[in-house]
Chains A and B, each alone.
Chain A
Protein backbone atom coordinates (compact mmCIF):
# COMPACT_ATOMS: atom_id res chain seq x y z
CA UNK A 1 0.00 0.00 0.00
CA UNK A 2 1.13 3.48 -0.75
CA UNK A 3 0.42 6.94 0.52
CA UNK A 4 0.82 10.29 -1.17
CA UNK A 5 2.34 13.03 0.96
CA UNK A 6 2.04 16.56 -0.35
CA UNK A 7 3.79 19.60 1.05
CA UNK A 8 3.12 23.19 0.02
CA UNK A 9 4.15 26.51 1.51
CA UNK A 10 6.94 29.07 1.72
CA UNK A 11 10.35 27.59 0.91
CA UNK A 12 12.85 27.18 3.73
CA UNK A 13 15.80 25.12 4.94
CA UNK A 14 15.17 21.51 5.98
CA UNK A 15 11.63 20.86 4.70
CA UNK A 16 12.50 17.58 2.96
CA UNK A 17 14.63 16.55 5.93
CA UNK A 18 11.86 17.13 8.47
CA UNK A 19 9.25 15.22 6.47
CA UNK A 20 11.56 12.32 5.71
CA UNK A 21 12.66 12.14 9.37
CA UNK A 22 9.03 11.63 10.41
CA UNK A 23 8.55 9.03 7.65
CA UNK A 24 11.65 7.10 8.76
CA UNK A 25 10.60 7.22 12.41
CA UNK A 26 7.33 5.41 11.64
CA UNK A 27 8.57 2.96 9.02
CA UNK A 28 7.21 4.85 6.02
CA UNK A 29 9.50 4.12 3.05
CA UNK A 30 9.82 6.94 0.51
CA UNK A 31 9.67 5.61 -3.09
CA UNK A 32 9.66 8.82 -5.05
CA UNK A 33 9.99 12.55 -4.49
CA UNK A 34 9.25 15.32 -6.94
CA UNK A 35 9.59 18.89 -5.84
CA UNK A 36 9.75 22.34 -7.31
CA UNK A 37 10.29 25.85 -6.05
CA UNK A 38 8.42 28.61 -7.87
CA UNK A 39 9.45 32.02 -6.60
CA UNK A 40 9.34 31.68 -2.85
CA UNK A 41 6.87 28.78 -2.92
CA UNK A 42 7.79 25.20 -2.33
CA UNK A 43 5.73 22.23 -3.54
CA UNK A 44 6.55 18.58 -3.06
CA UNK A 45 4.80 15.31 -3.85
CA UNK A 46 6.12 12.21 -2.13
CA UNK A 47 5.04 8.66 -2.93
CA UNK A 48 5.69 6.41 0.05
CA UNK A 49 5.20 2.75 0.86
CA UNK A 50 3.25 2.18 4.08
CA UNK A 51 3.38 -1.64 4.24
CA UNK A 52 5.83 -1.50 7.17
CA UNK A 53 4.26 1.46 8.95
CA UNK A 54 4.56 1.05 12.73
CA UNK A 55 1.43 3.00 13.75
CA UNK A 56 -2.11 3.15 12.32
CA UNK A 57 -2.06 5.21 9.10
CA UNK A 58 -4.63 7.68 10.47
CA UNK A 59 -2.30 8.49 13.38
CA UNK A 60 0.51 9.11 10.91
CA UNK A 61 -1.81 11.54 9.07
CA UNK A 62 -2.30 13.49 12.32
CA UNK A 63 1.44 13.57 13.04
CA UNK A 64 2.41 14.73 9.55
CA UNK A 65 -0.32 17.42 9.55
CA UNK A 66 0.87 18.64 12.93
CA UNK A 67 4.40 18.87 11.53
CA UNK A 68 3.01 21.07 8.77
CA UNK A 69 1.38 23.42 11.27
CA UNK A 70 4.60 23.61 13.27
CA UNK A 71 6.63 24.52 10.16
CA UNK A 72 4.04 26.89 8.68
CA UNK A 73 3.40 24.53 5.75
CA UNK A 74 0.41 22.56 4.53
CA UNK A 75 1.32 18.88 4.70
CA UNK A 76 -1.20 16.17 3.89
CA UNK A 77 -0.92 12.41 3.68
CA UNK A 78 -3.60 10.53 1.77
CA UNK A 79 -4.00 6.85 0.96
CA UNK A 80 -3.23 6.34 -2.72
CA UNK A 81 -6.54 4.59 -3.47
CA UNK A 82 -8.33 7.93 -3.78
CA UNK A 83 -6.01 8.89 -6.67
CA UNK A 84 -6.08 5.54 -8.43
CA UNK A 85 -9.88 5.34 -8.11
CA UNK A 86 -10.40 8.78 -9.52
CA UNK A 87 -7.90 8.72 -12.36
CA UNK A 88 -7.75 5.14 -13.60
CA UNK A 89 -10.59 2.95 -14.80
Chain B
Protein backbone atom coordinates (compact mmCIF):
# COMPACT_ATOMS: atom_id res chain seq x y z
CA UNK B 1 0.00 0.00 0.00
CA UNK B 2 1.23 3.46 -0.83
CA UNK B 3 1.79 6.01 1.90
CA UNK B 4 0.31 8.76 -0.23
CA UNK B 5 -2.69 9.21 -2.48
CA UNK B 6 -3.05 10.24 -6.10
CA UNK B 7 -4.12 13.67 -4.83
CA UNK B 8 -0.80 13.94 -2.97
CA UNK B 9 1.12 12.92 -6.10
CA UNK B 10 -0.66 15.51 -8.21
CA UNK B 11 -0.12 18.18 -5.55
CA UNK B 12 3.64 17.59 -5.57
CA UNK B 13 3.83 17.57 -9.36
CA UNK B 14 1.75 20.75 -9.55
CA UNK B 15 4.06 22.48 -7.04
CA UNK B 16 7.07 21.68 -9.21
CA UNK B 17 5.57 22.28 -12.66
CA UNK B 18 3.22 25.21 -12.06
CA UNK B 19 4.25 26.87 -8.81
CA UNK B 20 8.04 26.99 -9.21
CA UNK B 21 8.93 24.71 -6.30
CA UNK B 22 12.64 24.17 -6.39
CA UNK B 23 15.67 23.63 -4.24
CA UNK B 24 17.42 26.96 -4.53
CA UNK B 25 20.90 25.80 -3.62
CA UNK B 26 23.07 22.98 -2.40
CA UNK B 27 26.03 24.76 -0.86
CA UNK B 28 29.08 22.83 0.25
CA UNK B 29 30.95 24.50 3.09
CA UNK B 30 34.70 23.81 2.96
CA UNK B 31 37.19 24.69 5.68
CA UNK B 32 40.43 26.19 4.37
CA UNK B 33 42.26 26.32 7.70
CA UNK B 34 44.60 23.50 6.66
CA UNK B 35 45.67 25.51 3.58
CA UNK B 36 47.47 28.13 5.66
CA UNK B 37 51.00 28.99 4.51
CA UNK B 38 53.39 31.92 4.89
CA UNK B 39 53.95 31.75 1.14
CA UNK B 40 51.08 33.23 -0.86
CA UNK B 41 51.70 30.97 -3.87
CA UNK B 42 51.58 27.83 -1.71
CA UNK B 43 48.43 29.11 0.02
CA UNK B 44 46.70 29.71 -3.32
CA UNK B 45 47.74 26.28 -4.66
CA UNK B 46 46.46 24.55 -1.53
CA UNK B 47 43.15 26.45 -1.70
CA UNK B 48 42.66 25.49 -5.35
CA UNK B 49 43.55 21.85 -4.71
CA UNK B 50 41.36 21.52 -1.64
CA UNK B 51 38.25 23.02 -3.25
CA UNK B 52 38.60 21.15 -6.53
CA UNK B 53 39.14 17.87 -4.68
CA UNK B 54 36.40 18.28 -2.05
CA UNK B 55 33.76 19.69 -4.41
CA UNK B 56 34.68 17.73 -7.55
CA UNK B 57 31.42 15.74 -7.55
CA UNK B 58 29.13 18.48 -6.21
CA UNK B 59 27.62 19.62 -9.50
CA UNK B 60 27.10 16.12 -10.92
CA UNK B 61 25.59 14.89 -7.64
CA UNK B 62 23.20 17.84 -7.67
CA UNK B 63 22.14 16.96 -11.21
CA UNK B 64 21.66 13.29 -10.31
CA UNK B 65 19.41 14.13 -7.35
CA UNK B 66 17.47 16.58 -9.50
CA UNK B 67 16.75 13.83 -12.00
CA UNK B 68 15.92 11.15 -9.43
CA UNK B 69 13.27 13.21 -7.67
CA UNK B 70 12.19 15.41 -10.57
CA UNK B 71 12.73 18.60 -8.55
CA UNK B 72 14.96 21.36 -9.97
CA UNK B 73 18.09 22.22 -7.98
CA UNK B 74 18.97 25.68 -9.24
CA UNK B 75 22.40 26.33 -7.78
CA UNK B 76 25.35 24.25 -6.67
CA UNK B 77 27.77 26.42 -4.73
CA UNK B 78 30.71 26.44 -2.36
CA UNK B 79 31.33 28.52 0.75
CA UNK B 80 34.74 28.66 2.42
CA UNK B 81 36.34 29.75 5.68
CA UNK B 82 36.34 33.58 5.95
CA UNK B 83 39.46 34.39 3.96
CA UNK B 84 40.61 37.09 6.41
CA UNK B 85 41.21 34.26 8.91
CA UNK B 86 43.57 32.30 6.68
CA UNK B 87 45.41 35.04 4.78
CA UNK B 88 48.06 35.40 7.47
CA UNK B 89 50.49 38.16 6.56
CA UNK B 90 49.16 38.63 3.03
CA UNK B 91 48.97 42.24 1.82
CA UNK B 92 46.04 43.47 -0.32
CA UNK B 93 47.78 42.20 -3.48
CA UNK B 94 48.11 38.80 -1.82
CA UNK B 95 44.37 38.80 -1.04
CA UNK B 96 43.62 39.56 -4.70
CA UNK B 97 45.72 36.50 -5.62
CA UNK B 98 43.69 34.38 -3.17
CA UNK B 99 40.50 35.77 -4.73
CA UNK B 100 41.66 34.65 -8.16
CA UNK B 101 42.57 31.18 -6.86
CA UNK B 102 39.06 30.85 -5.40
CA UNK B 103 37.54 32.01 -8.68
CA UNK B 104 39.63 29.57 -10.67
CA UNK B 105 38.58 26.73 -8.35
CA UNK B 106 34.90 27.71 -8.74
CA UNK B 107 35.22 27.62 -12.51
CA UNK B 108 36.98 24.24 -12.43
CA UNK B 109 34.26 22.53 -10.38
CA UNK B 110 31.47 24.14 -12.43
CA UNK B 111 29.66 26.04 -9.65
CA UNK B 112 28.11 29.45 -10.29
CA UNK B 113 29.23 31.25 -7.11
CA UNK B 114 31.80 30.79 -4.38
CA UNK B 115 31.37 32.68 -1.11
CA UNK B 116 33.72 33.44 1.74
CA UNK B 117 35.90 36.35 0.64
CA UNK B 118 34.87 37.55 4.03
CA UNK B 119 36.11 39.52 7.02
CA UNK B 120 34.72 39.21 10.55
CA UNK B 121 35.03 42.70 12.03
CA UNK B 122 32.22 43.28 14.52
CA UNK B 123 34.51 44.43 17.29
CA UNK B 124 37.51 45.63 15.36
CA UNK B 125 39.77 45.03 12.43
CA UNK B 126 42.75 42.66 12.37
CA UNK B 127 45.58 43.36 9.93
CA UNK B 128 44.24 40.53 7.78
CA UNK B 129 40.70 41.93 7.78
CA UNK B 130 41.98 45.41 6.88
CA UNK B 131 44.01 44.03 3.96
CA UNK B 132 41.08 41.93 2.75
CA UNK B 133 38.74 44.94 2.83
CA UNK B 134 41.25 46.93 0.82
CA UNK B 135 41.41 44.11 -1.72
CA UNK B 136 37.64 43.64 -2.17
CA UNK B 137 37.02 46.16 -5.00
CA UNK B 138 39.77 44.71 -7.20
CA UNK B 139 39.08 41.11 -6.11
CA UNK B 140 35.39 41.27 -7.01
CA UNK B 141 35.72 43.33 -10.17
CA UNK B 142 38.43 41.04 -11.57
CA UNK B 143 36.71 37.73 -10.82
CA UNK B 144 33.51 36.16 -12.09
CA UNK B 145 32.22 33.76 -9.45
CA UNK B 146 33.50 35.23 -6.19
CA UNK B 147 31.20 36.70 -3.52
CA UNK B 148 32.34 38.80 -0.58
CA UNK B 149 30.90 39.78 2.78
CA UNK B 150 31.81 41.68 5.91
CA UNK B 151 30.29 41.06 9.32
CA UNK B 152 30.35 44.57 10.76
CA UNK B 153 28.23 44.10 13.87
CA UNK B 154 26.76 41.62 16.31
CA UNK B 155 24.36 41.79 19.22
CA UNK B 156 27.17 40.66 21.51
CA UNK B 157 29.87 43.06 20.25
CA UNK B 158 27.94 46.09 19.04
CA UNK B 159 28.48 47.90 15.76
CA UNK B 160 31.88 48.63 14.26
CA UNK B 161 31.19 51.95 12.55
CA UNK B 162 34.74 52.15 11.19
CA UNK B 163 34.09 48.93 9.27
CA UNK B 164 30.75 50.29 8.02
CA UNK B 165 32.42 53.45 6.72
CA UNK B 166 34.97 51.31 4.87
CA UNK B 167 32.18 49.11 3.45
CA UNK B 168 30.35 52.19 2.13
CA UNK B 169 33.55 53.16 0.31
CA UNK B 170 33.95 49.63 -1.06
CA UNK B 171 30.38 49.71 -2.41
CA UNK B 172 31.05 52.96 -4.25
CA UNK B 173 34.31 51.62 -5.69
CA UNK B 174 32.63 48.39 -6.80
CA UNK B 175 29.90 50.40 -8.53
CA UNK B 176 32.55 52.37 -10.42
CA UNK B 177 34.83 49.45 -11.27
CA UNK B 178 31.93 47.44 -12.70
CA UNK B 179 30.15 50.41 -14.27
CA UNK B 180 30.26 48.85 -17.75
CA UNK B 181 28.29 45.93 -16.37
CA UNK B 182 25.51 47.84 -14.55
CA UNK B 183 27.61 48.06 -11.36
CA UNK B 184 27.04 44.32 -10.87
CA UNK B 185 30.02 44.12 -8.48
CA UNK B 186 27.77 45.53 -5.74
CA UNK B 187 25.47 42.51 -6.10
CA UNK B 188 28.34 40.29 -4.94
CA UNK B 189 29.13 42.18 -1.75
CA UNK B 190 27.06 42.23 1.43
CA UNK B 191 27.48 43.86 4.84
CA UNK B 192 26.08 41.89 7.79
CA UNK B 193 25.02 42.13 11.39
CA UNK B 194 24.94 38.74 13.15
CA UNK B 195 26.06 36.85 10.02
CA UNK B 196 25.23 33.13 10.32
CA UNK B 197 28.08 30.61 10.00
CA UNK B 198 26.05 28.16 7.93
CA UNK B 199 24.18 30.33 5.43
CA UNK B 200 23.91 28.59 2.04
CA UNK B 201 22.74 31.70 0.17
CA UNK B 202 24.94 34.14 -1.74
CA UNK B 203 26.37 36.70 -1.60
CA UNK B 204 26.78 36.19 2.14
CA UNK B 205 27.68 32.50 2.41
CA UNK B 206 30.84 31.51 4.28
CA UNK B 207 31.87 28.46 6.28
CA UNK B 208 32.15 29.74 9.85
CA UNK B 209 34.83 28.82 12.36
CA UNK B 210 32.71 26.29 14.26
CA UNK B 211 31.75 24.42 11.11
CA UNK B 212 33.13 20.99 10.13
CA UNK B 213 35.90 20.28 7.63
CA UNK B 214 33.21 20.12 4.95
CA UNK B 215 29.42 20.27 5.22
CA UNK B 216 26.28 20.29 3.07
CA UNK B 217 23.79 23.11 3.62
CA UNK B 218 20.63 23.34 1.55
CA UNK B 219 18.42 26.34 0.81
CA UNK B 220 14.83 25.65 -0.21
CA UNK B 221 12.52 27.99 -2.04
CA UNK B 222 8.88 28.16 -2.99
CA UNK B 223 7.15 31.55 -2.67
CA UNK B 224 4.93 30.52 -5.59
CA UNK B 225 3.72 27.44 -3.73
CA UNK B 226 2.79 29.53 -0.66
CA UNK B 227 1.04 32.19 -2.77
CA UNK B 228 -1.02 29.53 -4.60
CA UNK B 229 -2.01 27.83 -1.33
CA UNK B 230 -3.27 31.16 0.05
CA UNK B 231 -5.14 31.89 -3.18
CA UNK B 232 -6.85 28.48 -3.07
CA UNK B 233 -7.88 29.04 0.56
CA UNK B 234 -10.04 32.01 -0.47
CA UNK B 235 -11.62 33.92 2.37
CA UNK B 236 -10.33 32.66 5.70
CA UNK B 237 -9.29 34.43 8.88
CA UNK B 238 -5.66 35.07 9.81
CA UNK B 239 -5.31 32.06 12.12
CA UNK B 240 -6.37 29.83 9.25
CA UNK B 241 -4.05 31.72 6.91
CA UNK B 242 -1.06 31.15 9.18
CA UNK B 243 -2.01 27.47 9.38
CA UNK B 244 -2.00 27.18 5.56
CA UNK B 245 1.45 28.78 5.34
CA UNK B 246 2.76 26.43 8.05
CA UNK B 247 1.51 23.31 6.28
CA UNK B 248 2.92 24.47 2.95
CA UNK B 249 6.27 25.35 4.51
CA UNK B 250 6.39 21.88 6.07
CA UNK B 251 5.99 20.22 2.67
CA UNK B 252 8.55 22.46 0.97
CA UNK B 253 11.08 21.87 3.73
CA UNK B 254 10.64 18.11 3.61
CA UNK B 255 11.87 18.20 0.02
CA UNK B 256 14.87 20.25 1.17
CA UNK B 257 15.60 17.75 3.92
CA UNK B 258 15.34 14.83 1.47
CA UNK B 259 17.75 16.49 -0.97
CA UNK B 260 20.16 17.51 1.80
CA UNK B 261 20.26 14.00 3.24
CA UNK B 262 20.78 12.43 -0.16
CA UNK B 263 23.51 14.92 -1.16
CA UNK B 264 25.24 14.36 2.17
CA UNK B 265 25.22 10.56 1.69
CA UNK B 266 26.32 10.63 -1.95
CA UNK B 267 29.14 13.10 -1.35
CA UNK B 268 30.12 11.54 1.97
CA UNK B 269 30.03 14.99 3.56
CA UNK B 270 28.08 15.65 6.79
CA UNK B 271 24.65 17.27 6.55
CA UNK B 272 24.65 20.73 8.15
CA UNK B 273 21.34 22.53 7.93
CA UNK B 274 18.31 23.26 5.81
CA UNK B 275 17.73 26.99 5.41
CA UNK B 276 13.99 27.70 5.46
CA UNK B 277 14.14 30.95 3.52
CA UNK B 278 11.48 31.71 0.95
CA UNK B 279 13.72 32.96 -1.85
CA UNK B 280 11.97 34.65 -4.77
CA UNK B 281 13.10 34.83 -8.40
CA UNK B 282 12.10 37.32 -11.08
CA UNK B 283 9.95 34.58 -12.68
CA UNK B 284 6.21 35.17 -12.70
CA UNK B 285 4.62 33.26 -9.81
CA UNK B 286 7.77 33.12 -7.67
CA UNK B 287 7.41 36.32 -5.67
CA UNK B 288 7.29 37.09 -1.95
CA UNK B 289 5.55 40.41 -2.74
CA UNK B 290 2.74 38.45 -4.41
CA UNK B 291 2.25 36.39 -1.23
CA UNK B 292 1.69 39.64 0.66
CA UNK B 293 -0.74 40.77 -2.02
CA UNK B 294 -2.56 37.40 -1.86
CA UNK B 295 -2.92 37.96 1.89
CA UNK B 296 -4.90 41.09 1.11
CA UNK B 297 -2.66 44.12 0.58
CA UNK B 298 -3.49 45.90 -2.68
CA UNK B 299 0.17 46.43 -3.51
CA UNK B 300 3.25 45.33 -1.59
CA UNK B 301 4.45 48.32 0.44
CA UNK B 302 0.96 49.48 1.43
CA UNK B 303 0.00 49.74 5.13
CA UNK B 304 -0.31 46.22 6.51
CA UNK B 305 2.65 44.90 4.51
CA UNK B 306 4.93 44.52 7.54
CA UNK B 307 2.20 42.66 9.46
CA UNK B 308 1.67 40.27 6.55
CA UNK B 309 5.39 39.64 6.30
CA UNK B 310 5.56 38.97 10.04
CA UNK B 311 2.79 36.34 9.74
CA UNK B 312 4.51 34.77 6.74
CA UNK B 313 7.96 34.67 8.30
CA UNK B 314 6.77 33.18 11.56
CA UNK B 315 4.53 30.56 9.95
CA UNK B 316 7.29 29.48 7.53
CA UNK B 317 9.60 28.84 10.49
CA UNK B 318 6.96 27.01 12.51
CA UNK B 319 6.10 24.74 9.60
CA UNK B 320 9.67 24.24 8.47
CA UNK B 321 11.28 23.51 11.79
CA UNK B 322 9.42 20.23 12.24
CA UNK B 323 10.23 19.10 8.72
CA UNK B 324 13.99 19.14 9.13
CA UNK B 325 16.34 17.67 11.69
CA UNK B 326 18.58 20.77 11.60
CA UNK B 327 17.42 24.23 10.60
CA UNK B 328 19.81 27.14 10.26
CA UNK B 329 21.25 29.76 7.95
CA UNK B 330 19.05 32.78 7.41
CA UNK B 331 15.67 31.00 7.54
CA UNK B 332 13.08 33.63 6.77
CA UNK B 333 11.44 35.32 3.81
CA UNK B 334 13.81 37.21 1.52
CA UNK B 335 12.77 40.57 0.13
CA UNK B 336 15.34 41.36 -2.57
CA UNK B 337 13.88 44.01 -4.85
CA UNK B 338 15.53 43.13 -8.17
CA UNK B 339 14.96 39.39 -7.76
CA UNK B 340 11.21 39.59 -7.14
CA UNK B 341 8.75 40.51 -9.90
CA UNK B 342 6.19 41.75 -7.36
CA UNK B 343 8.72 43.96 -5.55
CA UNK B 344 9.93 45.45 -8.86
CA UNK B 345 6.34 46.24 -9.81
CA UNK B 346 5.61 47.75 -6.36
CA UNK B 347 8.70 49.99 -6.53
CA UNK B 348 7.96 51.03 -10.11
CA UNK B 349 4.43 52.16 -9.27
CA UNK B 350 5.58 54.02 -6.14
CA UNK B 351 3.95 51.69 -3.58
CA UNK B 352 7.20 50.51 -2.04
CA UNK B 353 9.96 52.77 -0.69
CA UNK B 354 13.35 52.11 0.91
CA UNK B 355 11.91 53.26 4.26
CA UNK B 356 9.14 50.65 4.04
CA UNK B 357 11.63 47.97 3.02
CA UNK B 358 13.69 48.88 6.08
CA UNK B 359 10.64 48.42 8.30
CA UNK B 360 9.91 45.07 6.66
CA UNK B 361 13.41 43.85 7.47
CA UNK B 362 12.61 44.13 11.18
CA UNK B 363 10.33 41.10 10.85
CA UNK B 364 12.05 38.94 8.26
CA UNK B 365 15.41 38.00 6.88
CA UNK B 366 17.57 39.32 5.55
CA UNK B 367 17.77 43.04 5.00
CA UNK B 368 17.96 45.76 2.39
CA UNK B 369 18.71 43.45 -0.48
CA UNK B 370 19.39 44.14 -4.15
CA UNK B 371 18.24 47.73 -4.01
CA UNK B 372 19.50 50.15 -6.68
CA UNK B 373 20.01 53.77 -5.61
CA UNK B 374 21.29 56.75 -7.63
CA UNK B 375 24.94 56.49 -8.67
CA UNK B 376 25.78 59.87 -7.14
CA UNK B 377 24.62 58.86 -3.65
CA UNK B 378 27.39 60.06 -1.27
CA UNK B 379 29.41 57.49 0.66
CA UNK B 380 28.17 58.95 3.96
CA UNK B 381 24.53 58.34 2.96
CA UNK B 382 25.33 54.72 2.11
CA UNK B 383 27.12 54.43 5.46
CA UNK B 384 24.05 55.83 7.22
CA UNK B 385 21.78 53.41 5.37
CA UNK B 386 23.98 50.47 6.41
CA UNK B 387 24.13 51.71 10.03
CA UNK B 388 20.32 51.94 10.19
CA UNK B 389 19.79 48.45 8.84
CA UNK B 390 22.54 46.90 10.94
CA UNK B 391 21.05 48.52 14.08
CA UNK B 392 17.78 46.67 13.44
CA UNK B 393 19.69 43.39 13.45
CA UNK B 394 21.79 44.17 16.49
CA UNK B 395 18.93 45.38 18.67
CA UNK B 396 16.55 42.60 17.60
CA UNK B 397 19.17 39.84 17.92
CA UNK B 398 18.73 38.78 14.33
CA UNK B 399 20.64 38.75 11.07
CA UNK B 400 20.29 41.79 8.87
CA UNK B 401 22.32 42.78 5.87
CA UNK B 402 22.72 45.40 3.20
CA UNK B 403 23.34 44.70 -0.47
CA UNK B 404 22.81 47.98 -2.21
CA UNK B 405 23.78 49.11 -5.70
CA UNK B 406 24.61 52.80 -6.24
CA UNK B 407 24.30 52.26 -9.99
CA UNK B 408 26.98 54.31 -11.70
CA UNK B 409 25.57 57.09 -13.87
CA UNK B 410 21.94 56.19 -13.07
CA UNK B 411 19.30 58.33 -11.40
CA UNK B 412 15.87 57.80 -9.85
CA UNK B 413 13.50 56.32 -12.44
CA UNK B 414 16.27 54.55 -14.39
CA UNK B 415 16.60 50.80 -14.31
CA UNK B 416 19.54 48.44 -14.02
CA UNK B 417 19.25 45.00 -15.59
CA UNK B 418 21.50 42.24 -14.32
CA UNK B 419 19.71 39.42 -16.09
CA UNK B 420 19.18 35.89 -14.81
CA UNK B 421 18.15 35.41 -11.21
CA UNK B 422 19.60 38.79 -10.18
CA UNK B 423 16.83 40.43 -12.22
CA UNK B 424 16.10 44.13 -12.80
CA UNK B 425 16.30 46.91 -10.25
CA UNK B 426 14.46 50.22 -10.58
CA UNK B 427 16.67 52.99 -9.15
CA UNK B 428 15.00 54.11 -5.89
CA UNK B 429 14.79 57.43 -4.14
CA UNK B 430 16.94 57.69 -1.01
CA UNK B 431 17.05 60.55 1.51
CA UNK B 432 19.88 62.92 0.64
CA UNK B 433 20.04 64.67 4.02
CA UNK B 434 23.59 64.11 5.13
CA UNK B 435 24.59 61.82 8.03
CA UNK B 436 28.22 62.89 7.39
CA UNK B 437 28.84 64.26 10.89
CA UNK B 438 27.45 61.13 12.56
CA UNK B 439 29.33 58.75 10.28
CA UNK B 440 32.66 60.56 10.61
CA UNK B 441 32.62 60.16 14.39
CA UNK B 442 33.76 56.56 13.84
CA UNK B 443 34.32 54.11 16.69
CA UNK B 444 31.97 51.47 18.00
CA UNK B 445 28.31 51.63 18.92
CA UNK B 446 28.09 49.71 22.24
CA UNK B 447 26.29 46.37 22.36
CA UNK B 448 22.66 46.63 23.53
CA UNK B 449 21.86 45.84 27.16
CA UNK B 450 20.01 42.63 26.30
CA UNK B 451 23.24 41.16 24.93
CA UNK B 452 24.25 40.64 28.57
CA UNK B 453 22.47 37.36 29.11
CA UNK B 454 24.93 35.42 31.24
Query: Which residues of B46-72 are within 8 A (CB) of A?
Result: 64, 67-71
CB-nearest residue of chain A relative to B69? Answer: A82
B9 contact set on A, CB distance < 8 A: 4, 6, 45, 83
Tell me the B residues contacting A by CB distance below 8 Å. 2-6, 8-13, 64, 67-71, 251, 254-255, 257-258
With a cutoff of 8 Å between Cβ atoms, the chain A residues found around residue B2 in the complex are 2, 32, 47, 80
Are the CB atoms of A83 and B4 closer together than 8 Å? yes
Q: Which 10 A-B pairs have the closest CB atoms?
A: A78-B70, A87-B8, A82-B69, A87-B4, A85-B258, A58-B67, A85-B254, A88-B3, A83-B4, A86-B251
Interface range for A: 20 to 34
Is the Cβ of B12 less than 8 Å from the Cβ of A79? no
* Other contacts beyond A57-B68, A86-B251, A87-B8: 15, CB < 8 A: A2-B2, A76-B13, A76-B70, A78-B68, A78-B70, A80-B2, A82-B69, A82-B71, A85-B254, A85-B257, A85-B258, A86-B255, A87-B3, A87-B11, A87-B12
Contact A87 B6 (CB under 8 A): no
Q: Please indicate the chain B residues that have their CB under 8 angstroms from the CB of A76 in the complex.
A: 13, 70
Report how far A73 CA is from B6 CA in the complex, Å: 19
Contact A86 B8 (CB under 8 A): yes
Task: Give Cα A88 to B10, complex, Å.
Answer: 15
- Given A6-B9, A45-B9, CB of A84 within 8 Å of CB of B68: no
Report the Cα distance A6→B9, complex, angstroms. 9
Residues of B within 8 A of A47 (CB): 2
Complex: how many Å from CA A86 to CA B258?
A: 9
List 30 interface pairs A-B (beta carbons < 8 Å), by A numbering: A2-B2, A6-B9, A6-B13, A32-B2, A34-B6, A45-B10, A58-B64, A58-B68, A62-B67, A76-B13, A78-B69, A78-B70, A80-B2, A82-B12, A82-B255, A82-B258, A83-B3, A85-B254, A85-B257, A86-B4, A86-B8, A86-B12, A86-B254, A86-B255, A87-B4, A87-B5, A87-B8, A87-B11, A88-B3, A88-B4
Tell me the bound Cα distance from A6 to B6 in angstroms: 10
The residue on B at minimum CB distance from A88 is B3
Bound Cα distance A34, B10 (Å): 12
Residue A66, interface by CB 8 Å: no
Bound-state Cα–Cα, A82 to B70, Å: 9
Give chain B residues whose Cβ lies under 8 Å from the Cβ of A62: 67
Are A45 and B4 also in contact (CB < 8 A) when A78-B69, A79-B68, A87-B12 are? no
Kindly list chain A residues whose C-beta atoms are within 8 Å of the C-beta of B13: 6, 76, 78
Q: Does A67 make an interface contact (CB < 8 A)? A: no
**Within 8 Å of chain B (Cβ to Cβ): is A61?**
yes
- A84 to B3 CA separation, bound complex (whole angstroms): 6
Bound Cα distance from A62 to B67, whole angstroms: 9
Most central of B6, B9, B254, B255 by chain A CB within 10 Å: B9
State the CA gap A50–B2 with chains docked (Å).
15
Residue of B6, B67, B257 near A61 (CB, 8 A) is B67
What is the distance, in angstroms, from B72's C-beta to the closest C-beta of chain A? 12
In whole angstroms, what is the CA distance A73 to B70 when docked?
A: 17
Q: Which residues of A contact B4 (CB under 8 A)?
A: 83-84, 86-88
Shortest distance from the beta carbon of A70 to any chain B beta carbon, whole Å: 19
Say yes or no: A83 contacts B6, CB within 8 Å: no
Is A51 in the interface zone, CB < 8 Å from B?
no
B110 CB, nearest partner CB in chain A, Å: 18
| Residues of A12-28 contacting chain B, CB below 8 A | none
- Specify which chain B residues have a CB less than 8 angstroms from the CB of A85 in the assembled complex: 254-255, 257-258
